[in-house]
A and B are shown apart, each in its own frame.
Chain A
Amino acid sequence: MTLKMETRVVDGVTVVSCQGRIVFGEEGTELRETLKRLLASTRQIVLNLSGVAYIDSGGLGTLVGVYSSARAAGADIKLTGLGQRIRDVLQITKLVTVFEVYDSEAEAIAAFRRGAA
């Protein structure tokens, strides 16, 4: 298991900071289960991936999967802290057009606040 997750609440927005690799298998499952659990009680999640150096195709699938089910449930997941590698992957797969990506965690949280206001 090479993925650690930390959850805290900032201004009513749930921030999940990931550390490690998001890959097919245990890590992907853990990410999915964690976000699923959180989505039961919150509709606003910021996923901070600044500690994630690598995401494989399976991990990407998981990310899109939880994003889609969050949207379907009326919730939203915004991304921040993307390293060059994840940026590249999202660019190649054009998923950059699907996710809302912010340069900083504060901006992502602020975007939720604006939406709520």
Chain B
Amino acid sequence: MAFQHTTGSQSSPGSGIFPVLVYVQGNEQRNIPLDHSPFAVGRKVDKDLVIADPRVSRDHALIVSENGKFSVVDQGSKHGTFVNGERVERRTLERNDRLEFGVRDVAYVIFNPQHATSNTAREFLSQISGMHISTETTDLEKLTLFLEAARKLNTIGVLDEILVTLLDATLKLTRAERGYVFMKTDEGALRLAAGRNSKGEPLLDDTTISHSILDEALKSNSEFVLTDTSQSLDLAGRQSIVAYDLRTVICIPLRKPQVQATRDAQAPPSDPSAEVMGALYVDSRFASRDISSVSNDILRAIATEAASLIENARLVQAEEAGRRYQQELSIAASIQQKLMAVTIPEVPFARLSGKNLSCKEIGGDFYDAVNTEDGLTVVLADVSGKGVSAALLASTLQGMIYSQIIARMPLVEIVAAVNRFFTHKHLGEKYATVIIARVSRDGELEYVNCGHIPPLLVCNNEVIRPTHGNLPVGLLRDATYESDRCSLHPGDRVVMVTDGVTEAENARGDFFENERLEAVAAKNGNLDDIFAAVADFCSGTPLSDDCTVVELVYTGQP
């Protein structure tokens, strides 16, 4: 059994231009670049991979490339073609697939093993744009390959790699010596985004290019500007052209592709320079080749395709940024939920329960409970607004109040400090309504209500709504706060709700209101009864605000 392959030089895994077939026969192993399609396998000597074994058919199988994927197609071989041990007629190949042709185990082929090439966009592109092209291929056919690469690239969001590949392709097409891509910054200045020479080396310095031609091209309306300094005397005097011996300069402004004519006919005609995203610049020196003969068709095609390529890349980038932002947001949401998680302290003289229904993932309502020597303290707050801003404020508020309760600060001082903090920070119109209530071992209740719905004191099924109240915190700098006190008897309850409960709407636009709340609170039920009453009232109309209910029952001294 002999092995030979007839496709040019070998390449080692990792050189990476084409997918690699690793042919293994006994102790021998060779790499064959899969650089054309179809790639023929068989016993006949004209095959790309010749396996001289009687069990291998003359025309055994083909490896074909379609839409960027490779497949193996059996050619009616006698002993069959196998992928990973399974006999196949046709099979799309995945990396590391093991191919066998007639002879099992003695000789096999591994398709493009993982270690052979890295899978970056850059590698992928060079596989396509760098594909070996015969001398008969016209420039436009080459360009078609490039465009193919461009289309495939739309799924890859690595702008820098796209720019470098774009440069390589352009240098190949124009046969220019150096190439640069400039991108317009938000301030409107041009920034060097990528530079390459025809040897594929990066160029980081743009001081030796003709900036005057670059500027001119950007101001012009044309698709590209080709300047042959040997043909134009007035250019020959320009500084960089003289200093760096520039012969031919091609500059292609990259304009945002026109999506659709705007529906608004009143819109003023757009200024062509306003849509310029950047520029593609290539040049050659006198000493090197002449690129002034590059066909206009090619330059025009590059101009159009490069711009839409970059625009697409940017859109993909924006999409990725959006996805990342969403991820960050959900992380923030989970942190907030953990911060807001309440561990209700067990105390012998009181029983506390609370429940929160958020209408959004992260809400502005929260409650908390802290036990100190002064008694059991309950906090219920509702931050104005919704979403992330409300959640941020809620977390800060919760932290401030918690630490001050732990420090056994008087309730009115706590809310005054919070108000000072928030008004001092100029948070715009963000504020919070807060109620902090503390019940001591002997049933003394002290509470400070800052703009919140008055709590319900339920004594013997009778509901009392105290009129005590203060301004919300965070609204007015000079607000002052007072607290209220009363004595609880065993069995007395304090029910506190946020306005999401009283303002829960039904389909007719009616609110749940205080009366319904008082009616359900008066019954000796629990929190779930209140939520059930709200749900019953809304009968399917979704909540527009967070609903939180906290109930404190004084059970008396043991």
CA separation between A28 and B451, bound complex, in Å? 20
Q: How large is the interface on A (under 10, 10 to 19, 20 to 34, 35 or more residues)?
A: 10 to 19
Q: Quick check: is B281 within 8 A (CB to CB) of the other chain?
A: no
In the assembled complex, the CB of B253 is this many whole angstroms from the nearest CB of chain A, namely 39
CA separation between A28 and B545, bound complex, in Å? 17
Which single residue of chain A is at the shortest CB-CB distance from B499? Answer: A57
In the assembled complex, the CB of A20 is this many whole angstroms from the nearest CB of chain B, namely 14
Do A93 and B471 touch (CB < 8 A)? yes
Do A61 and B452 touch (CB < 8 A)? no
CA separation between A24 and B360, bound complex, in Å? 15
Do B472 and A93 touch (CB < 8 A)? yes
CA separation between A60 and B433, bound complex, in Å? 12
Q: Quick check: is B314 within 8 A (CB to CB) of the other chain?
A: no
Q: Contact check: which of A65, A92, A93 meets B429 at CB < 8 Å?
A: A65
CA separation between A111 and B470, bound complex, in Å? 27
Q: Quick check: is A73 within 8 A (CB to CB) of the other chain?
A: no
Do A24 and B386 touch (CB < 8 A)? yes
Known contacts: A92-B451, A92-B454, A98-B476. The answer to whether A61 contacts B429 by CB under 8 A is: yes
> In the complex, what residues of A have CB within 8 A of residue B452's CB?
92
Which single residue of chain B is at the shortest CB-CB distance from A92? Answer: B453
In the assembled complex, the CB of A112 is this many whole angstroms from the nearest CB of chain B, namely 22
Q: Quick check: is A12 within 8 A (CB to CB) of the other chain?
A: no
Q: Quick check: is B547 within 8 A (CB to CB) of the other chain?
A: no
Q: Mark A44-70, 1 if CB is under 8 A from B, else 0.
A: 000000000000111011101100100
Do A60 and B469 touch (CB < 8 A)? no
Within 8 A of A (CB), among B465-507: 469-472, 475-476, 499
Do A93 and B433 touch (CB < 8 A)? yes
Do B385 and A61 touch (CB < 8 A)? yes
Within 8 A of A (CB), among B24-68: none
Q: Quick check: is A110 within 8 A (CB to CB) of the other chain?
A: no
In the assembled complex, the CB of A77 is this many whole angstroms from the nearest CB of chain B, namely 14
CA separation between A94 and B467, bound complex, in Å? 10
> In the complex, what residues of A have CB within 8 A of residue B268's CB?
none
Q: Quick check: is A95 within 8 A (CB to CB) of the other chain?
A: yes
Q: Quick check: is B224 within 8 A (CB to CB) of the other chain?
A: no
CA separation between A98 and B477, bound complex, in Å? 12
> In the complex, what residues of B have CB within 8 A of residue A95's CB?
451, 471, 475
Do B472 and A24 touch (CB < 8 A)? no
Q: Contact check: which of B386, B428, B451, B545 meets A93 at CB < 8 Å?
A: B451
In the assembled complex, the CB of B449 is this many whole angstroms from the nearest CB of chain A, namely 9
Known contacts: A92-B469, A94-B470. The answer to whether A64 contacts B476 by CB under 8 A is: yes
> In the complex, what residues of B have CB within 8 A of residue A92's CB?
451-454, 469
Which single residue of chain A is at the shortest CB-CB distance from B544? Answer: A56
Do B429 and A28 touch (CB < 8 A)? yes
Q: Mark A15-57, 1 if CB is under 8 A from B, else 0.
A: 0000000001000100010000000000000000000000011
Q: Quick check: is B461 within 8 A (CB to CB) of the other chain?
A: no
> In the complex, what residues of A have CB within 8 A of residue B430's CB?
61
Which single residue of chain A is at the shortest CB-CB distance from B432? Answer: A57
Q: Quick check: is B382 within 8 A (CB to CB) of the other chain?
A: yes
Can you give 14 contacting A-B residue pairs, CB < 8 Å?
A24-B385, A28-B429, A56-B545, A57-B385, A57-B499, A61-B384, A61-B431, A64-B476, A65-B428, A92-B469, A93-B469, A94-B471, A98-B471, A98-B476
